[in-house]
Structure 1
Amino acid sequence: MFEALERMPMEELARRHAACRSHLARVAPEAGGLAVFSRLAIYYLTGTWGNGVFWLPVEGEPVYLCRKGIERARLESPLAAMFPFKSYSELPALLREAGSPLSEVAAAEMSGLTWALSDLLLSRVTGVRFVPGDLALARTMAVKSDWELAKMRLCGARHDKGLREVLPALLRPGMTERETAHKAWEVFFSLGHMGHMRMGAHGEEIFLGHVAAGDSGNYPSVFNGPVGLRGEHPAMTLMGSAGKVWMPGEPLTMDIGFVLEGYHTDKTQVYWAGPESGVPDEARRAHDFCIEVQTRVAEGLRPGAIPSELYAMAMDMARASGLAEGFMGLGGNKVNFLGHGIGLAIDGWPVVARGFDEPLEVGMTLALEPKHGIPGLGMVGVENTFEVTAAGGACLTGSRYDMLGVE
């Protein structure tokens, strides 16, 4: 009676399972498999936005145990072993009957459960020692297949078209931040944006992204990014404020994501309220510097490059240029990273920051976001999404990064 909107190819799923097993052997060599719980991870490893538990044994057939929606799962996923369950206490018997029993030591996606649910799991599933498996999953998801990259390239092209070609004609100084955000939504939805974006960090939320006019770009922010914003309300510190008007002589910073078929790209476009010739020298210099940083770091997005070394290079550039103050945020908004992995979630692995010393691989996708806060004026700079290639970072979100004047 029903047909799936998309059915993930079995070859794609098998590639993911093999990569995850390979990473698991290094991250948790004593584990006999990996149990995942978050819907995002279940989707990645099954092809359906599942509600339940997915078990990937080191050897044997993967099994998805579904709390609700197994009929949909059977439409969307090519997995053979899928069974309903109601309680964690059923897991050992169900997996044993499926021919892929839980091992005495099992890796777990620990970020996929709340504290309360993990306590419940441990009380229901005895005789199993769970060890962290999140890093194996993160490393697997970081390297995109051709199937995934095709989605991200299309997403990035539409993202760029929306922000640089379509939206400028709909903006004008005198609009509130909220009005400009609504125009962005109008454009993005017309280009296929799916509406709901996802973040992996526990408790972090995103809705369209950051829309900051003038000094809103330096407004104190709780979000782990350099762009400040007033947001809708103290209870919803996202999007743009209905009380802040974009005035002539101010930047409008739109740090907003696009999502298509589950995959995200991230991009920041700065608009100037007035002719581009009216951009103050301080703002122009800072913006051009951010483009230079992005270019240099993107050139280094090659297999074997070390993210922490790329971060150190960017920080050295900021100090040598006399722009360290305000680079990557002003005051309490300053962040200690330059970019982040991206894919099924906005905030992926790896991060371009200190401590990320594992080499990049072909097929990884990262958003680079060098930005600069200017006291009393706002935030300038760029963000774009890049694919790691042998020739350096290939930008998925366009090739022009200048500020756009809007009169």
Structure 2
Amino acid sequence: MYTEQFLPEIELRKSKIQESLRMTKADAILINDNANLFYTSGRVFSGYTYVSARGEIYFFVRRPVGLKGDNVIYIRKPEDIPSEMQKHGIPLPEKLLLEDDSLTYNERLRLSAIFPNAAISNGTPLIRNVRTLKTPYELKLIRESGTKHAMMYHRIPMTYKEGMSDTEFSIELERLARLHGSLGIFRIFGSSMEIYMGSLIAGDNADVPSPYDFAMGGAGNSTSLPVGSSGMLIRPGMTVMVDMGGNFTGYMSDMTRVFSLGEIPELALNAHQVALNIEKTIAGKAKPGVAAKDLYNLAVEMAEQAGLSEYFMGHRQQAGFIGHGIGIEINERPVLAPRSKDILQENMVFALEPKFVIPHVGAVGVENTFIVTRNGVEKVTNCTEEIVSLD
């Protein structure tokens, strides 16, 4: 299932899950969400990971064929799991957790019927909480992703050609990302958001409300995916905000930079500087023990003091956060929002994105990925944060 070198990492993740299972007095969790399969096995497969509160971790695999390992057990259907457990001496659970937040109703019914004598509860919060604190290996992959992400962003100005539409520019940047090693997938928890490899938003398209909780949405090219570039021509006096996800290692980094064509108004330039000031101030305050909501409130206060509240995190429609956790998925904990209960802890990873939307100009601001360290935060997406001219 995984290489010998990866075994210590799997054991570490298993121990974290098992500790949480024992704290909740659950016997086991059965996992089949792709992000959590990847977390528990180091790869995506069709099947299930079974983690008990004590003992081994088992992989019940349907596809692909050929996976090997002492704990790999092939099944035709999930109904085979109990008999295979008995065959391998694995006790049947009395209290079992399932991923209720990602299972369909029918999948939930089917898995519950397989374990008729078990009390079933929702295990999604448990596994997401475990994933919040990254291991040293995960942090290494996030740093690698951030480095490749920044290398790709350095080439953005050279990719622009006069007369491009925002969609044409976006396509070229998607290609650029793939050439730098992007896996081309943007994993999101839940079904409330859809996006491709990220978004590129120019001019007034930044002020088009989105059905999603984004600072700026964009109309998109179809009502079936109403977000991002809309096909508009990039004209002088506009800003172009590039917010491409950086999945280069299976672990995401998130970064936004702003570009401009021609001269842009002083209001936009000032708002961008305020965004940089907010980022610097929050990065200086963020450390273990700090409440995420306090960082959000600080950002809102700074935007208000600058007289820019009406443009902060959107104009016609404003987002309700300034940062979000990141890892295998783009929307993990912690969340920097007014009602967040998250408290920063060492080895959390979050993207911080103070942004403004200036009508008739576009979006300005910045986004970077930070790792929470013992004494503060480490920025892993390092490249120019000033507005870069495309001229």
TM range (shorter): over 0.9
Is the partner of 1:255 in helix, strand or coil?
A: strand
Number of residue pairs aligned between Structure 1 and Structure 2:
391
2:17 is the counterpart of 1:32:
no
Instruction: From 122, 127, 152, give the equivalent of 1:132.
Output: 122
- Percent identity of equivalent pairs: 26
For 1:43 and 1:381, how far apart are their aligned partners in 2?
A: 33
For 1:314 and 1:56, how far apart are their aligned partners in 2?
A: 41
CA gap of 1:8–1:286, structure 2 versus 1, over 3 A, is farther
Show the counterpart of 1:381: 365
Structure 2 residue runs without a partner (length 5+):
none
Partner amino acid, structure 1, of 2:226: T
For 1:300 and 1:108, how far apart are their aligned partners in 2?
A: 38
Partner amino acid, structure 1, of 2:353: E
Instruction: From 377, 382, 389, give the equivalent of 1:393.
Output: 377
Show the counterpart of 1:15: 12
Does the 8 Å contact 2:60/2:75 carry over to 1? yes
Q: Deviations over 1:315-370 (max 9, x none)?
A: 222222222212111233x1111111111111112211133324222221111111
Q: Give, in angstroms, the shift of residue 247 of structure 1.
A: 0.4
Partner amino acid, structure 2, of 1:62: I
Is the partner of 2:11 in helix, strand or coil?
A: helix
For 1:203 and 1:311, how far apart are their aligned partners in 2?
A: 22
- The TM-score, its normalising length taken from structure 1, stands at 0.91
2:41 is the counterpart of 1:41:
no
For 1:209 and 1:130, how far apart are their aligned partners in 2?
A: 37
2:49 is the counterpart of 1:54:
yes
CA gap of 1:99–1:214, structure 2 versus 1, over 3 A, is same
Q: Give, in angstroms, the shift of residue 86 of structure 1.
A: 2.7
Instruction: From 110, 114, 134, give the equivalent of 1:120.
Output: 110
Q: Give, in angstroms, the shift of residue 270 of structure 1.
A: 0.8
Does the 8 Å contact 2:101/2:122 carry over to 1? no
Structure 1 residue runs without a partner (length 5+):
none
Show the counterpart of 1:237: 226
Show the counterpart of 1:226: 215
Which consecutive aligned stretches of 4+ in structure 1 deviate over 6 angstroms post-superposition? none
Is the partner of 2:370 in helix, strand or coil?
A: strand
Show the counterpart of 2:146: 156
Is the partner of 2:311 in helix, strand or coil?
A: coil
Show the counterpart of 1:293: 278
2:206 is the counterpart of 1:209:
no
Show the counterpart of 1:189: 178
Is the partner of 2:59 in helix, strand or coil?
A: strand
Partner amino acid, structure 1, of 2:242: M
Show the counterpart of 1:404: 388
Partner amino acid, structure 2, of 1:405: S
For 1:372 and 1:51, how far apart are their aligned partners in 2?
A: 42
CA gap of 1:22–1:354, structure 2 versus 1, over 3 A, is farther
For 1:23 and 1:62, how far apart are their aligned partners in 2?
A: 15
Partner amino acid, structure 2, of 1:264: M
2:249 is the counterpart of 1:261:
yes
For 1:326 and 1:201, how far apart are their aligned partners in 2?
A: 28
Partner amino acid, structure 1, of 2:202: A
Does the 8 Å contact 2:335/2:342 carry over to 1? no
For 1:246 and 1:8, how far apart are their aligned partners in 2?
A: 49
Range with bigger deviation, 310-319 or 210-219: 310-319
- The TM-score, its normalising length taken from structure 2, stands at 0.94
2:240 is the counterpart of 1:252:
yes
Show the counterpart of 2:131: 141
Is the partner of 1:356 in helix, strand or coil?
A: coil
For 1:182 and 1:346, how far apart are their aligned partners in 2?
A: 21
